[in-house]
Amino acid sequence: MATNNGAGKTRHKVHVKKDDTVQVISGKDKGKVGKVMQVFTDSSKVLVEGVNMQTKHVKPQGEEPGRTDRREAPIYSCKVMVYSDKKKQASRVGHTVTEAGKKVRVLKKTGEIIDK
């Protein structure tokens, strides 16, 4: 579901949130597990810790020598699934209402509640 916020940018609904543990399901990093550090709703991408590492070469600046930095790059959110640390299994996300009347996210395969 894409929504337009009036400024000309389209924001996409993403199924993961910051600090979720996710597993990559396709691409060069398939099978890796990491924590979501940032979510980009305008491009439907997420930044996952230790996934999609890229090399950035930095030129020397005056007295400071040149160096090589390794950093994460965003990947599409459709390439990740929420991961259960307890069951060691990736799953789709569903929603349910608790007895207290609060709407929470639930893993479909394990039934584990992932919202705090």
Residue 26 to residue 45: CA distance in whole angstroms: 14
Number of domains, the chain:
1
Structure tokens given for 85? 């640390």
Instruction: Please state the separation of Cα 114 from the chain's center in Å.
Output: 14
pTM for this one? 0.85
Residue 29 to residue 50: CA distance in whole angstroms: 9
Structure tokens given for 54? 């890229």
Q: Do β-strands 75-76 and 67-72 pair in parallel, antiparallel, or remain unpaired?
A: unpaired
pLDDT digits (tens, 9 = 90+) for 3-62: 776 666 788 899 999 999 999 999 999 999 999 999 999 999 999 999 999 999 999 999
Does the residue 111 lie in any domain?
A: no
Residue closest to 27 by CA, chosen among 63, 53, 56: 53
Write the DSSP symbol of residue 23.
E
Span 59-74, mean pLDDT?
A: 97
CATH number assigned to the domain comprising residue 71: 2.30.30.30
Domain encompassing residue 60: 2-85
What is the structure's pLDDT at 10? Answer: 87
Per-residue confidence band for 114, with pLDDT thresholds at 50, 70 and 90: very high
Does the residue 80 lie in any domain?
A: yes
What is the structure's pLDDT at 3? Answer: 73
pLDDT at 116 over 80: no
What is the structure's pLDDT at 8? Answer: 65
Tracing tokens 């990736």 back to the chain, one arrives at 90
